[in-house]
Amino acid sequence: MSSVLPVPDAGVRRHDVAVLVSTATVLLVVTGFSVFFGSAGLTPSEVLHGLRLAIGGTPMGTPEAQIVMLRLLRIGLGVLVGASLGLSGFLLQTAFRNPLADSYLLGVSGGAQLAVTLVALLGLAGTVASVPVMIAAPLAGALFVLAMLLIISRRIGHDLLAFLLSGLALSYMLNALYSILVSTRPDILSNTIFWSWMGLNRASGTGMAVVAAGLAIAVPAVMSLMRPLRSYLVGDDFAQNVGVNVRTTRISLLFLSVILAATDVAASGVVGFAGLFSPHLARLLTRRTDRTFVVLTMLMGATIVVVGDLMARSVSASEIPLNTVLSLFGAPYLIWLSIKSRRAV
Amino acid sequence: MIPAVLELNDVAVGYTRGEPILRNVTISVHPGEAVALVGRNGTGKSTLLRTMRGFLPPLDGQVMLKGHRLQSMGPQTLAATVGFLSPAIPQAHITVDEVIELSSLGRLKSMQQLEASDHPDVFAEVSGFGARFLDEMSSGQQRKIMLLALVAQWTDILLMDEPELHLDLPSLRELHGLISWATAKGKSVVLSTHNLETIRVLPDRLYVVGDKTVREAPRTEETVQALLEGSGYTPRA
């Protein structure tokens, strides 16, 4: 019965392939374009020369090659973090059945950041760079915030804006705690603050590996959870009626979302709004909530972060934090969404 | 005699913490029967329906579905045996086609396929709504979609918690048509209702929920009057 999966008809499949290919092409063009821009002010021919060296296996051959290599790392991390943030946002929006959810807005990223800072402050500064701590600390922080959100959402019920407001308040509090911690020991945390502030400028192979590991866990899990995920989206009674365990589904979605958000914070600090935007942009291209939609969401996230980062490092002489650039676009969008959701009520 | 598809024998229902809401509930529903649960607000009709669906475990006694203990059936078997129409209106941003696909447990993939298969010719207003999002229609239209989703699930037992909610008067007639069509196909329907028209014309049998238990009542105008007055709401045993 349930093993007989319906075969999508040719029209649907053609549409899916078309939107996937065009979205991937946009991402490819944006990343390619992105290599040529940056604060170093290289000319296109210098970049091309550097690219040849970097690809040819001598990335440290010339200063140009070194800069190009750094840019490639940064763009690579941007693509991974963007895809991860997009997927995380989709899972969070699904789990809370709230299109306004985002790991930054609800304080999940803030919790991860605070946890890392605490670890650094507790004299474990030397270990912050070590990979297990780099993953465990933000994960613990993000899970703690998630638990608080679950308690809040249970009390609030299905009021989208009230829940968002509580999440925002929570993230302000976490940010305040973070600022206090940083001001007490600026020496130890000078590294951390910069890292959490800027975004992708500390791109490293390790950071990329951490984010990739998060995606390697979450993507197959989400793809295999599509039926419960979609049934859950319709409602608790509906899901249970078609044989889906509501609790397990909700917890799986939240846990996967938090893993992604935590690895993103570990690699690039707090980056907001990409998780909010991505599913909404993907929705403009396809109506069904299927695997195509999930891939589109990740492609959108990657594109948003790469474009955002490109702006962050080209609009002014000194670099602007990525989060600032995304907030510039994200905040008005959020206001518009709130107006729209209020009208729908 | 044809064996009952749904049987409750001396069942107590309620939430696991706390006193049972209903005790000594004995109901049997046969293939092709439509049975209505009536009674005042808060007497436990929804709790009883949720227990019949397996959302809540019986606090005492057994619920039997087609001769099997409900408690021993897995979620997938239950989903293929007994369908439930929730009184809640889903506010999900999901297309109607997907709702039909999920409800049919993968048999169908769109509203169009449902309409092409053997199905009751009702709710023409929402035919062609396949690509629409559930949260972008009126509550009445959503209700019709959820009723059609129950048809798509195509279980032998259909439970409906106040199916008339949000339906306009012509749609109420169509709902009765849908239920009669299903029972004519041998399906069993148990519904809770406060609708006079439904109570008068639809059910084969009537159960009155009240006084912490359930009793069968004759489907007569006398019973309807007693229900309306509220005084004689609990019929004489």
The domain ranges of chain A are: 10-344
Q: How far apart are CA B15 and CA A306, in angstroms?
A: 52
For the range B224-229, what are the long-range contacts, defined as Cβ-Cβ under 8 Å and sequence gap of 24 or more? B224/B196, B224/B199, B224/B200, B227/B38, B227/B199, B228/B196
What's the confidence (pLDDT) of residue A129?
Answer: 59
Q: How far apart are CA A149 and CA A322, in angstroms?
A: 26
CATH superfamily of B6-87+154-229: P-loop containing nucleotide triphosphate hydrolases (3.40.50.300)
Q: How far apart are CA A128 and CA B236, in angstroms?
A: 76
Length of chain B, in residues:
237
Tell me the ipTM for this assembly: 0.94
What's the confidence (pLDDT) of residue A1?
Answer: 38
What's the confidence (pLDDT) of residue A289?
Answer: 95
Interface of A with B in 35-74 (CB under 8 A): none
Answer whether A134's CB lies under 8 Å from A91's CB: no
Residues of B in contact with A241 (CB under 8 A): 53, 79, 83-84, 86, 153
* Residues in a beta bridge with B215: B208
Written as tens digits, the pLDDT of chain A (345 aa) is 334 445 556 777 889 999 999 999 999 999 999 988 877 778 888 888 888 887 777 777 788 888 888 889 999 999 999 999 999 999 999 999 989 899 999 999 999 989 988 887 776 655 555 778 878 999 999 999 999 999 998 888 878 788 989 999 999 999 999 888 888 877 766 665 555 556 777 778 888 999 999 999 999 999 999 999 999 999 999 999 999 999 999 999 999 999 999 999 988 888 999 999 999 999 999 999 999 999 999 999 999 999 999 998 888 777 888 988 999 999 999 989 888 876 654
Q: Residue ranges of chain B with pLDDT lower than 70?
A: 1, 231-237
Q: What is the CA radius of gyration of chain B?
A: 18
What's the confidence (pLDDT) of residue A3?
Answer: 40
Q: How far apart are CA B14 and CA B51, in angstroms?
A: 8
Cα A8 off chain centre by: 30
Residues of A in contact with B146 (CB under 8 A): 238
For the segment B114-162, what is each residue's pLDDT rounded down to a tens digit? 999 888 889 989 999 999 999 999 999 999 999 999 999 999 999 999 9
Any CB–CB contact under 8 A between A248 and chain B? no
CB-facing half-sphere around the CA of A185: CA atoms within 13 A: 15
* Cβ–Cβ below 8 Å for B88 and A235: yes
Any CB–CB contact under 8 A between B188 and chain A? no
Residues of A in contact with B90 (CB under 8 A): 234-235, 238
Give the Cβ contact number of residue A49 at 10 Å.
17
The residue of chain A nearest to residue B138, with distances taken between CA atoms, is A344
* Interface with chain B: mutation pick from A7, A96, A242, highest number of B CBs within 10 Å: A242
What's the confidence (pLDDT) of residue A158?
Answer: 76
Q: Which CATH class is domain A10-344?
A: mainly alpha
**Distance from the first to the final alpha carbon of chain B:** 25
* Residues in a beta bridge with A279: none
Interface of B with A in 112-151 (CB under 8 A): 131, 133-135, 146, 149
* Cβ–Cβ below 8 Å for A245 and B95: no
What's the confidence (pLDDT) of residue A195?
Answer: 58
